[in-house]
Structure 1
């Protein structure tokens, strides 16, 4: 069985801080502009999380979405 690499505590802290500042990213504003803004924010968050030092993991924005949905 393949071991799962988990996000570091620092990455979770960054994620929570980002969501406190930008709201619930899993519920973007309605319409095209809301979806575009949501995708841009997910990309920004993924970049922040992937650039965090320590023993964290690197994931795409889509995979970080899954992490957030499982919290």
Structure 2
């Protein structure tokens, strides 16, 4: 099972898979996102490619970026 956190909301979402691409994980939570601006951290580093495959052993955090003043 892959679990990841959505910040700043603090939501934790889990998917029942051993491996998934970041794109698949984002698709799982698109209803929770207010916009399309976000970044993904995998094991503390910014992911540069949504086709990157992660496993249940990886730490994944999705951070929503809010634009505004």
Q: Structure 1 length normalisation: TM-score? A: 0.26
Based on CA coordinates, which of the two structures has the bigger radius of gyration?
1
Return the structure number with greater helix share.
Answer: 1
Q: TM-score when scaled to structure 2?
A: 0.27
